Chain A
């Protein structure tokens, strides 16, 4: 909400005919100026904006600083393109126009659009910059269009010599799909040194971008904040859930792998997972699940684990019904696993139980490249460890076996 008088210096030289900024450099410049004028007048009703052209027959002030937006926009029509831009004269005339502003309390600012090459020396530009700083005039430069070597540097030194406490900025815009005005909206030139104007900028972004891009979920937070908030929260929840599920699956795979490795290498009995795993391997041979069924099972069980945390049992049921249609044995195993995991409150105990579930772990082991259930050392280890959880496993074994025998 800085009280400011701004003079905008337009580059209407021959270089503006180029079409590398669509539709033409001059047109994109005009759009950007329209937006800036609007932003300035909106951020503070007492702000004034004036416009002058630097090329053509000579530097010409189109409108002296005024707060009447209509007048400013009207004078932007019917501008001719021609000749070369005179940067130094343009800045000096802008300074003079600002000096004679009506409200002396306004801070002075000049915005220069520099699209054509700069023919002045760095020293000249530095002197101009220092003069601006001495008279406490801030300067913003939009470097677009031509970019011969030295232009960017020269403009940087110019802005650096004017800069007093970060009040002056320079923006380099290279040709591309984005319109000049879109690029400028996010710069401090628009937001006025970080204060105010951002509300207008957001609305302008919506207008220019068609209201879809730039906003998640296609809803403008300005228009419907509650809906936007609700959509955002539900998206975040879903994402968190999926991440947790993915993390769990990764953890399990890692645990099972380490369990398998340790069993084959060092008879480590401290890992309960390893115990369950080895006991299950024996069962695996009995059940003889194929790979297709195993992957399906795995998927269903992963979903069922989600169900343990966030009560979305519906998805599990849907998946399970698909599997059930194919294989009654599979259906029973799935049902068992769901029953086990559904009752859990803590994820860790839920995970343990699922690991205990033979079918799941066996399928995981099948998919693991390094573990071969028929490995003799593994078989020995299984025999020695089978006692520990055999009672529990036996109960499970009996029912599926009965089904299997059918």
Chain B
């Protein structure tokens, strides 16, 4: 796609796809033929033929746990012009939310995805709110055309890791 703004990674930030704990990743209201992996996983998300699609209605609820604590800086969310997401709410460290209680909590950040964003321009997040993130819940409320089906091409998250103790480095102190 020639019109894609090359997603330059913001200075000092890292693509957090490597720190995602894949065993706990969940997505509600996705179609089985177009699952979350198409949008999130390295390789799949750059494949134009694969995308994430909503099933019963246009909302999607994505839960992404991380293997370690991270700080979240920005995100790239791409999709088609019509069916791409419009309102996206992010919740940090809220486990196992459902569609029923998604409106009970104030979101850590609420995004309005523009057409530029859909083409690849990163969305800067409220960095302050995402300093100590173990898991991220992404709630896609509606899409650009207000249709029944939302399609997401790619979801990429950028940030840095918080320095944590690497248990493998701990060595037993020798007794004298």
**Chain B, range 91-125, C-beta contacts under 8 Å to A:** 95-96, 98-100
Interface residue B57 (Cβ < 8 Å from any Cβ of A): yes
Determine the residue in chain A with the shortest Cβ distance to B27: A136
Contact assessment for A104 and B57 in the assembled complex, using a CB-CB cutoff below 8 Å = no
Interface residue B82 (Cβ < 8 Å from any Cβ of A): no
| Proximity string of chain A (160-187) to chain B, C-beta cutoff 8 Å, 1 when within and 0 when not | 0000110000000000000000000000
Interface residue A135 (Cβ < 8 Å from any Cβ of B): yes
Contact assessment for B55 and A134 in the assembled complex, using a CB-CB cutoff below 8 Å = yes
A104 to B25, CA, bound (A): 12
| Proximity string of chain B (51-62) to chain A, C-beta cutoff 8 Å, 1 when within and 0 when not | 000011101000
Please, how many residues of chain A have a CB less than 8 angstroms from a CB on the other chain? Answer: 10
From the candidates B28, B32, B95, name the one contacting A134 in the complex (CB within 8 A).
B28
**Chain B, range 64-89, C-beta contacts under 8 Å to A:** none
Q: Point out the residues of chain A lying under 8 angstroms from B144, CB to CB.
A: none
Q: Point out the residues of chain B lying under 8 angstroms from A104, CB to CB.
A: 95-96
Determine the residue in chain B with the shortest Cβ distance to A161: B56
Contact assessment for A164 and B55 in the assembled complex, using a CB-CB cutoff below 8 Å = yes
Q: Point out the residues of chain A lying under 8 angstroms from B98, CB to CB.
A: 99, 135
Q: Could you tell me the distance in whole angstroms from the C-beta of A252 to the nearest C-beta in chain B?
A: 61
Interface residue A309 (Cβ < 8 Å from any Cβ of B): no
**Chain B, range 30-65, C-beta contacts under 8 Å to A:** 32, 55-57, 59
Q: Could you tell me the distance in whole angstroms from the C-beta of A129 to the nearest C-beta in chain B?
A: 9
Q: A164-B32, A165-B32 are in contact. Are A133 and B96 (CB under 8 A)?
A: no
Contact assessment for B57 and A134 in the assembled complex, using a CB-CB cutoff below 8 Å = yes
Contact assessment for B96 and A136 in the assembled complex, using a CB-CB cutoff below 8 Å = no
From the candidates A99, A130, A136, A165, name the one contacting B57 in the complex (CB within 8 A).
A130
A52 to B169, CA, bound (A): 52
Interface residue B131 (Cβ < 8 Å from any Cβ of A): no
Q: Could you tell me the distance in whole angstroms from the C-beta of B102 to the nearest C-beta in chain A?
A: 11
Q: Could you tell me the distance in whole angstroms from the C-beta of A130 to the nearest C-beta in chain B?
A: 4
Q: Point out the residues of chain A lying under 8 angstroms from B29, CB to CB.
A: 133-136
Determine the residue in chain B with the shortest Cβ distance to A132: B56
A68 to B55, CA, bound (A): 35
Q: A164-B32, A165-B32 are in contact. Are A135 and B99 (CB under 8 A)?
A: yes
Q: Point out the residues of chain B lying under 8 angstroms from A99, CB to CB.
A: 98, 100
List 20 extra interface pairs beyond A99-B98, A130-B57, A135-B99, CB under 8 A: A99-B100, A104-B95, A104-B96, A130-B56, A133-B29, A133-B55, A133-B56, A134-B28, A134-B55, A134-B56, A134-B57, A134-B59, A134-B99, A135-B28, A135-B98, A135-B100, A136-B28, A136-B29, A164-B32, A164-B55
What are 21 A-B pairs with beta-carbon distances under 8 A? A99-B98, A99-B100, A104-B95, A130-B56, A130-B57, A131-B56, A133-B29, A133-B55, A133-B56, A134-B29, A134-B55, A134-B56, A135-B28, A135-B29, A135-B99, A135-B100, A136-B28, A136-B29, A164-B32, A164-B55, A165-B32
